[in-house]
Amino acid sequence: MFTKVITRPVTLNNISAIKQTAFRSFASQTGTTTTLPTPAPVEQKNIFPKKYGGKYTVTLIPGDGIGQEIAVSLKDVFKAADTPVEFEQYDVSGLTSEDETLFQESLASLRRNKVGIKGTLFTPTSKLGHKSFNVTMRKDLDMYASLSLCKNVPGVPSRLNNVDIAIIRENTEGEYSGLEHQSVPGVVESLKIITRVKTERIARFAFDFALKNNRKKVTCVHKANIMKLADGLFLRTCRDVAKEYEHHGIKFNDMIVDNTAMQLVCRPSQFDVMVMPNLYGSIVSNVGAGLIGGPGLIPGCNIGREYAMFEPGSRHVGLDLQNKNAANPTAMLLSSVMMLRHLNLDEYANRISTAVYDTIKSNAARTADMGGNSTTKEFTAAVIAKL
């Protein structure tokens, strides 16, 4: 496996300055093939990932915090499994605004390769900081559908059982539109954008996902009782799309977002597929992570008409665990399993997912968040041994 690494060093001074101003589905261990909906219209030609000499070229962005460590784990497992994937690695960092050029190079790489996998990039909270690289990437490449798979992992202690939820959020508008301005000193207006066109395509994505993966119900999460125009449009559009899928036997219901949070921690088994605007999806996916044992266990991806980017479904940077050899690479590995299924490399996907689940279930190795004391490297070595 060949890896090309393009990097730019980040200095400690830059980091300090920023801080001061600042898996039922693809990851199933059973080998059951599941598929992503095809978000392209019928008239559009298929756009295939780049493949040279029998190997796919994939853009790899490790991310900040624990990103480098779990990226090493990913590359080691892929090498041991002899996976026909070559990585173009871009060490972009959100801890400094100086990486804008490198970030644009990583976008160009993703445009070439069509498929990528990444960790989470740090986003400063200061108004002087740069815009989120994570959000910019999804918007620029119109990867409009975010999918996070929240499912109990056998062998991992969790607060509740029978959790098996596909969380789908719209990536390109809503509260993440990035349209803010200060009207007068002390008064800031932030615009939430909801359009029927983009709501309809994310709703269709959710119902197509349910249909292709034998899911039985889609729940629309909203706040239409207060935001009657914006969330009202989102809800009405989802209801209209739901009518087209009634003959498939897929049930539809809706739930106000604050009630959703309560229901998730009381009776999560009532949820199957959930579809919602951007901000609600961020909150719900993190609640889901807490239900099953933490953010290190949820795989995810971002899908558009041309491009696909795979990443852990609960987007935590993990700066507190950086360089401590304590990070859990499970979410990254299971996200890579989703990527391999997307590339129709099901045999390799099954081997890796089975190895990960067997490692955890047999207690061969578990990191601290799973109730064990194994390091990142020890967990990776145990997964490789299971291959």
- DSSP, residue by residue, 209-231: HHHHTT--EEEEEE-TTTSTTHH
* pLDDT at residue 322 greater than cutoff 50: yes
Check if the beta carbon of residue 283 is closer than 8 Å to that of residue 175. no
Instruction: Please report which helix (H) or strand (E) contains residue 56, including its range.
Output: strand 55-61
| pLDDT value of residue 373 | 94
State the pLDDT at residue 51: 76
CB 96 within 8 A of CB 10: yes
pLDDT at position 333 over 80: yes
Which of 5-9, 104-108, 145-149 is the least confident region?
A: 5-9
Asked if 77 and 333 count as a contact pair (C-beta separation under 8 A), the reply is yes
Average pLDDT over residues 80-88: 96
On the question of pLDDT at 43 being above 50, the answer is no
Place of tokens 């239900």: 291
Cα 261 to Cα 258: distance, rounded to the nearest angstrom: 5
Which domains does the chain carry? 1-149+295-387 (3.40.718.10), 158-292 (3.40.718.10)
| pTM of the predicted model as reported, rounded to 2 decimal places | 0.86
Mean pLDDT of 93-115: 87
Mean pLDDT of the residues in the chain: 87
**Distance of alpha carbon 175 from the chain centroid:** 18
Mean pLDDT of 59-86: 95
Find, among 345, 278, 316, the residue nearest to 26 by Cα: 345
Q: How far apart are CA 285 and CA 294, in angstroms?
A: 11
For residue 26, pLDDT over 70 is answered with no
Q: Which band of pLDDT confidence, cut at 50, 70 and 90, is reported for residue 269?
A: very high
Q: How far apart are CA 244 and CA 250, in angstroms?
A: 10
51, containing H or E segment? strand 51-52
12 falls in which pLDDT band (50, 70, 90)?
Answer: very low
Choose the weakest-confidence range: 53-57, 110-114, 167-171, 211-215: 53-57
Q: What pLDDT, on the 0 to 100 scale, is given for residue 245?
A: 96
